[in-house]
Amino acid sequence: MIRVNTKFDRPDPELVEQLGKYSAATIHEAQGRLGALDSTIKPVDPAMSLCGPAFTVRCAPRDNIMLQVAIAHAQPGDIIVVSAGEYAEAGSFGDVLANACVAKGLGGLVTDTGVRDTQELRELGFPVFSFSVCMKGTVKETVGPMAEPVLIGGEIVNPGDVIRADADGVVVVRRDDVADVIRKSQERVEAEDAYIAAYRSGKSVIEVSNLAAVLEAKGLVIDGH
């Protein structure tokens, strides 16, 4: 007998909603350039975006039985996070399972294996971020852990961590850090808005970024026009 867990603490939904207002890149920078999954994991449509607590599951390569179990037990708003060993040559998720996710109110899927039926996924609008696109089918043989820490895209993702993903990629925020990352993300947005305002007022990027002393120390000499 293999017993799997389905219970874990999730972050405050209001905090998740606030975090989702910031881009994945902003969050990555705000938390010290941490948490970014490998850039090989991309949305099947650049317009796709998601933010929600991770419901983690580990699948054997070319096997999606545990993915289906995870979909059955995840809660509305959850992001299914699949660790399958970066196996590109399998389409472990497609339009049929995506419709099951939509019917349950799930928030999206992030996987380090392949997906298929991408045209239908785009039309459905269910956010899917995957390692590859592959038409090859899968088996349903190997059971394994669920709602436990998994390795995906070079990052450990714990159940209940928050996953934020958009056209630039996927970032994970530790459940206990969400409020702090929201604060830091807002500070970063305000700082960048100030940079943009300075550029529009006529200041150069060297002035705004205080690069003159840095460039001089590195010995860069720019001849005048």
Q: What is the pLDDT of residue 105?
A: 98
Cβ-count burial of 210 within 10 angstroms (0-12 exposed, 13-18 middle, 19+ buried)?
exposed
Q: What is the pLDDT of residue 163?
A: 99
Q: What is the pLDDT of residue 71?
A: 98
Q: What is the pLDDT of residue 225?
A: 55
The DSSP line for 104-167 is HT--EEEEEEEE--HHHHHHHT--EEEEEE-----B------BSS-EEETTEEE-TT-EEEEET
Q: In whole angstroms, give the CA distance from residue 56 to residue 35.
A: 16
Beta bridge partners of 172: 163
Could you tell me the pTM of the whole model? 0.95
The CB-side HSE value for 198 (13 A sphere, CA atoms) comes to 14
Q: Which helix (H) or strand (E) holds 212?
A: helix 212-217
Closest CA to 62 of 111, 25, 3, 126: 111
Dmax (CA) for the chain in angstroms is 77
Q: Can you give the pLDDT of all 225 residues of the chain as single tens digits?
A: 788 889 999 999 999 999 999 999 999 999 999 999 999 999 999 999 999 999 999 999 999 999 999 999 999 999 999 999 999 999 999 999 999 999 999 999 999 999 999 999 999 999 999 999 999 999 999 999 999 999 999 999 999 999 999 999 999 999 999 999 999 999 999 999 999 999 999 999 999 999 999 999 999 988 875
Q: What is the pLDDT of residue 224?
A: 73
Eight-state DSSP code of residue 91: B
Torsion sign (Cα): 117, 119, 122, 128: positive
Burial call 99-117: b when 16+ CB within 10 Å, e when fewer: eebeeeebbbbbbbbbbbb
Structure-token pair, residue 47: 């317009």
Pairing outcome for strands 108-115 and 128-133: parallel
